Amino acid sequence: MNFSARLAVVRAGRATVDDFGDLARHALDEGEEEAALPWVASAATQYGMARLWQWTGLLHRALDAHQAAFDAFGEATRLAPADVGIAHGRARVALEAGLDAVALFETAERLGPPNGDILIGLAAARWAAGRGEEAEAALDAIIAQVPLWIQGHNQLAQLRALMGKPAQATASFERALAQQPDALALWRGLLDLHLVHEDYAAQAIVAKRAQAAGLAPAQIADHMAISSAERGEADRADALFAAAPAAMQAGLNLWQVRHFLRTDRLASALSLIDDVIGSGGTQEAAIWPYAATAWRLAGDPRYDWLVGGSRLVAEMNLRDRLPPLDVLATHLRGLHVARGEYRDQSVRGGTQTDGPLFCRSDPVIGALRAVVVTAVETYVAALPPRDAGHPLLAMRRDRRPRFSGSWSVRLGGGGHHANHVHPQGWISSALYVALPPKNTGDAPDAGWLTLGEPQAALGLALPPSRMVEPAPGRLILFPSWLWHGTRPFGEGERLTVAFDVAPPR
């Protein structure tokens, strides 16, 4: 039974307690939380069952109503104080809402057997509460006891980077490998860590070390091919791509497209792009920026179909609708506690807030979010008609906007964003809150947003298809798969809010 069938049972008055849980589960799977919430919340009140209050909290959370979700989880906790799943859910909602969640995660940790997600959440809560050193020490101690916990290694590496200790990001992997030099999971974890940081030279060095430790080349063939291609070893990369095991080939498609573009083999790139798009699946979302680049280079009419000139990019002046920008700027600055950059993000010369910004339970962010939701709804309503094959226009338009991510970026002098995309998003954004004054000697386009300019590592002489001058209160919306970055600016501070609208379900 799908959601509609479950809802029909509930509306007919024939529902059991389990039926309400099934309704919530299907609603979360199918994006029908709004329709399910009144029924599940009413049943939770009627039956007084912890599980139904938990479902109510999950539905509120999916709708970004985190205060209501926290309250619902609080009622579930009152009814079932020893339930680890409920305790974890309450802690997670509190963390996302910007509340101090340390004690809640500690309670969840005490209630159940060791759980990696709870331990990761506890570390994030301690970091958010200004207890980064404690979070680092606790994670490191656990990893020392469980050296194959790759999720923990990755969280610790990210934490150390945010704490301004990037040189220590790989330390836990290295310690574990000294104890277990033949552990494939550790070698691949360390390779992945360098890959997301785009440190292909370090990736190549680790690949050589792994082979020296006894790993077969086939076990890390994908990393060897990627590092060679990204460092410009064209002939070696060709051979490594061809020799990679069949099970790895699909995962290398995007990297091969990059390699073909970098080595001026446009026909090969176009052919592989067509194959990926034709086969569908999870890779399709990540291939669109490369399709746009290749079709633009080839003069393919599909480029105009995909990028659409100016029809898919919108500029909106929200200054008069937002909270006072000086108030908003002061509020956001208080959330920038990191001393370093995320290892897997585009920020260069600045910091990014942690956690989903729009989920925070405070009036300033709530007012900001409300204005943004209206702006996104306006953008979606003005899009061209639906097109089943188009990555932006194929999506349904009858859902309220949901956010797959939201954050603030604070750049210092010389700061910028490297060109990048957001493959998990549908619509991406830049909202300018505070900008540095223009100085004599600044480039005319200092600080401007660039759209359509490929990542510099591809080595392509393609200028931006569009550039947008920043202005306080200006919001720019564009497809998440469109290359975007910023030009460096001179001295001062640039403070922005950004978000990704999730693909509607």
pLDDT at 46 over 80: yes
pLDDT at 344 over 70: no
Tell me what the mean pLDDT of segment 113-138 comes to: 96
Q: Which domain holds residue 322?
A: 314-501
Tell me what the mean pLDDT of segment 87-106 comes to: 97
> Is 438 inside any structural domain?
yes
- What pLDDT score does 413 carry? 77
pLDDT at 490 over 90: no
What strands, in cross-sheet order, belong to the sheet with 466-468?
A: 466-468, 449-451, 484-486
pLDDT at 301 over 80: yes
> Is 164 inside any structural domain?
no
Please tell me the distance from the alpha carbon of residue 400 to that of residue 385, in angstroms, as a whole number: 18
> Is 464 inside any structural domain?
yes
145 band by pLDDT with thresholds 50, 70 and 90 = very high
Count up the domains in the chain and report the number: 1
**Which residue, 217, 285, 284, 224, is CA-closest to 259?**
224
- What pLDDT score does 226 carry? 98
> Is 267 inside any structural domain?
no
Please tell me the distance from the alpha carbon of residue 245 to that of residue 222, in angstroms, as a whole number: 8
359 band by pLDDT with thresholds 50, 70 and 90 = very high
- Helix (H/G/I), strand (E/B), else coil: 180: coil
Provide the 10 A C-beta neighbour count for residue 12.
8
pLDDT tens for each residue of 160-188: 998 989 899 999 999 999 999 999 999 99
- What pLDDT score does 195 carry? 96
Please tell me the distance from the alpha carbon of residue 502 to that of residue 285, in angstroms, as a whole number: 13
Structure tokens that stand for 2 in this block: 């799908």
pLDDT at 471 over 80: yes
Please tell me the distance from the alpha carbon of residue 156 to that of residue 428, in angstroms, as a whole number: 28
304 band by pLDDT with thresholds 50, 70 and 90 = very high
pLDDT at 440 over 90: no
Please tell me the distance from the alpha carbon of residue 31 to that of residue 192, in angstroms, as a whole number: 32
- What pLDDT score does 347 carry? 72
Tell me what the mean pLDDT of segment 8-18 comes to: 91
> Is 171 inside any structural domain?
no
> Is 329 inside any structural domain?
yes
> Is 161 inside any structural domain?
no
| Verdict on whether the full-model pTM lies above 0.85 | yes
**Which residue, 497, 284, 286, 477, is CA-closest to 405?**
497
CB-CB contact of 285 with 253 (8 Å) = no
Indicate which CATH number applies to the domain containing 347.
2.60.120.620
Q: What is the chain's mean pLDDT, rounded? A: 94
Structure tokens that stand for 241 in this block: 């791509």
> Is 333 inside any structural domain?
yes
pLDDT above 70 as % of the chain:
99
- What pLDDT score does 183 carry? 98
